[in-house]
Amino acid sequence: MSAHEDYGPKELDLEVPSAARAYDYLLGGSHNFKIDRDFANQVREHSPWTPNVTRLNRSFLGRVVRFCLDQGITQFLDLGSGIPTVGNVHEVAQQRVPDARVVYVDYEPVAYQHASAMLADNPNATIIQADIRDPEFILNHPETRELLDFSRPLGLLIVGVLLFIGPEDQPAELVRAYRERLAPGSYLAISHITGEHASPELQAQLAATVAAYREANEQLVIRDHAEISSWFAGMELVEPGVTFLPDWRPDTPDEAQDLARPLGYGGVARQP
């Protein structure tokens, strides 16, 4: 049972744009509806960088998974995993380590259904439809316990999702609740939208995007470097620290030129 009645899985709602489905659309996916596409296009009209920031975030996620594999991590808990799209965590991980284990968590029904279908024949990966604000439910879930061994290091991925967790849900406490369960040598990855170093023009567009998301199923929260970095306190930050997304261990220099560069932070830290 969920500890909070209002933290249960979401129902499919086609009256309200879904942030998960709009993200899928912006990444070029097809698991979205007209209401989501209209919403994403409307946001893109005033904030032309929205597809860029989704791509930079997704690209960061891929580099993080490969970095974790390089450190010997072969099990992942992916919170707010989204609708399956290019470069899913289990694909990146199992390409190199065929029996790598992945537990995805998302409360959005389309994300859950498509991931379930995709993983039906994959004994080492699963999705739980749950609200990440309920860590006890997720950490004690039978599928989590079956696939993940918390006595060994794992990769905890909280990528592109804390921007939907408002201050009233105490994101710092939430991250701590998951961190407490990590074995030494585990890694925590977080990415988040930001605006503190954006130009006035980008900041105005960001404000318009936040306003537009009031019509969506999730509200967008913009945070600064200090707050995002605080969630890693007490852990060993991996070089180069909490940086703009394209600056975190880039594969190619191209993304550093992206107009959305100052709009997202990402970082990874090791549990001592």
Which tokens sit at 209? 């995007």
- Angstrom distances, CA of residue 172 to CA of 47, 137, 229: 29, 18, 10
Q: How far is the CB of 272 from ligand SAM (least distance, A)?
A: 25
Shortest-Cβ-distance residue relative to ligand SAM: 82
Rounded CA separation 47/11 (Å): 29
Q: What stretches of the chain show up as alpha helix (H) in DSSP?
A: 19-26, 34-46, 50-70, 89-96, 109-119, 135-139, 142-147, 171-179, 200-212, 225-230
> Hunting for tokens 């060994």 — which residue is that?
152
Q: How far is the CB of 93 from ligand SAM (least distance, A)?
A: 14
Which token pair is 97? 């380590």
Q: Which run of H or of E encompasses 264?
A: strand 264-270
Q: Which residues, 178 to 237, sit near ligand SAM by CB under 6 A?
A: 218
- Out of 55, 133, 192, 223, the residue judged to bind ligand SAM by CB under 6 A: 133
> Whose Cβ is closer to ligand SAM: residue 106's or residue 272's?
106
The dihedral region occupied by 28, where left means phi > 0, alpha psi between -120 and 50, and beta the remainder, is left
Nearer to ligand SAM, 17 or 82 (CB): 82
Q: Quick check: 43 and 212 in contact, CB under 8 A?
A: yes
Among 115, 161, 198, 268, binds ligand SAM (CB under 6 A): 161
**CA separation for the pair 36, 48 (Å, rounded):** 16
Candidates 159, 216, 260, 263: give the one binding ligand SAM (CB under 6 A).
159
Q: How many residues bind ligand SAM (CB under 6 A)?
A: 21
**Between 36 and 218, whose beta carbon lies closer to ligand SAM?**
218
Residue whose CB is less far from ligand SAM, 27 or 201: 27
Q: Which of residues 22-61 bind ligand SAM (CB under 6 A)?
A: 23, 57-58, 61
Piece of the chain touching ligand SAM by CB under 6 A; list 106-114, 181-189, 225-233, 254-262: 106-114
The residue among 80 and 153 lying less far from ligand SAM, judged by its C-beta, is 80
Which residues of the shown chain bind ligand SAM in the complex (CB under 6 A)? 19-20, 23, 57-58, 61, 80-82, 106-108, 111, 131-133, 159-161, 164, 218
